[in-house]
Amino acid sequence: MCKFYFTLIINNLHIEMGKIKIEDFLALALNFPVFDVRSPGEYGHAHIPGAHNLPLFTDEERKLVGTAYKQQSREQAIKLGLDYFGPKMRRMVEEVEEIVRNNKQHDSGDNANCVLVHCWRGGMRSSGVAWLLDLYGFKVYTLAGGYKSFRRWVLHQFENPYQFTVLGGYTGSGKTEVLKELSKAGNKVLDLESIACHKGSAFGGLGEDKQPSQELFENKLALALDMLSIEDNIWVEDESQSIGTVNLPKAIYNNMQQSPGYFLAIPFEERLNYIVKEYGKFTKEELIAPIMRIQKRLGGQNTKNAVNALIEGDIKESFRTLLAYYDKYYERSLEKRDKRLSTIICEVVDAHTHGKKLAGKI
C-alpha cells in the first residue's frame, strides 16, 4: 500500500501523515473526528470515548475473515475481506464526509478535512480504510498499535501520583453538588459518579444513563485524568471501590484511601430530608427493586420495614431505615481508610456554603 507523507502543524504539533503514536493521536482527537473501524461488537464493548464507529466488517464478516486467515491463508482472507469492503466504500466515504462537514462548523481552517482512524492493532483494517479516505481527499492519520496501544496508555494513567483531596460524608450530604460548586469556583474536580453513570448506593442507578462496561469506564476515567495534572490538587468524592457495576482501578482506589480530605458532618434528619427530596420523585416499584437487591445486607426486618413503609406511602420512614443502614456501612469504610478525614461540622445540606468553605482549605 502506498504511503503519502506530509507535515501538518497543529498547535505546534508536527506530525507526518501515516501512523502516529497514541499521545499525538489523542492530541489531534481534541479537534478532529476519530473513526473506529472495528466491528460493532468490538466497539460496543468499549472504545475511545467520542470515537465514531465506522465498521469495515460486521461481527459475522470479521469472524469469517479471521477463520479464513487461520485455516486457509492471509491472501484468501484479504480477498474475502475485499468482497465485503468493496460494496461499502461509497457509504463509508459519505458517512465520514457528513461527520467531517459537521466538524467544520468548529474548524474551518486548512486542516478541516483531517480524520483519525484506528482498528484493533493498527493493521489491515485501519490501513484499508485510511487508503480509501486518503484517496477521496481526506487528511488521514492512523494510530500505531491501534486500540491496543490506547488501552496500554489507559492503564498507565492510573499509576500516576495524583494529588487527591477526598470529600467524605454520610449518604445524603450532597457531596456531588459540593463538587460542582468547587468546580465552578475553579477547583480541579474528578467526578467519578458522573463517569460511572451511578451515584454509588443501591439507588444510584435511578435516573441515570446505562452504566458503561468496565473497560469503557476505565477509558473515560483515563481521559478525564489526562485533562488534569499530577501537580493539581484534585477534589474527588470518597467512594467504595465499586460504583454500581464498575470498579475503580486498584491504583486509583488505593491513592484515594491514602489521600487527605474532609468529612461533612451533617445531622441525620437534614440528610434524610435531602434524600426524600432527591429520590421521592421515583415510583414505589422503582424504589422497592433496589431495596430487594440489598436485602441480605439490610436484614430481613429492615427490608420488611422499608418496603412496607413505601407501600403505605410513607417514603420518609422507609428512607429513615435505609439511611441508618448506609450510615453504619459508611462508618466501617471510614475505619478502614489509611488516612483519616478532617471533620467539618455542618448544620444543613447546603452545597454552595460548603463549597465556599472547602475551597478555602486548599
Encoded amino acid at 12, one letter: N
Give the separation between CA 235 and CA 29, rounded to whole angstroms.
26
Burial class (CB in 10 A: 0-12, 13-18, 19+), 64: middle
Residue 163, helix vs strand vs coil? strand
CA neighbours within 13 Å on the CB side: how many for 203? 20
106: left (phi over 0), alpha (psi -120 to 50) or beta: alpha
Question: Which residues are 20's β-sheet partners?
Answer: 143
Burial of 195 (0-12, 13-18, 19+ CB in 10 A): buried
Instruction: Give the whole-angstrom CA distance, residue 117 versus residue 102.
Output: 17
Catalytic positions are 119
Which of 240, 260, 259 has the alpha carbon at shortest distance from 250?
240
DSSP E strands, 57-202: 114-118, 139-143, 163-169, 188-190
CB 52 within 8 Å of CB 34: yes
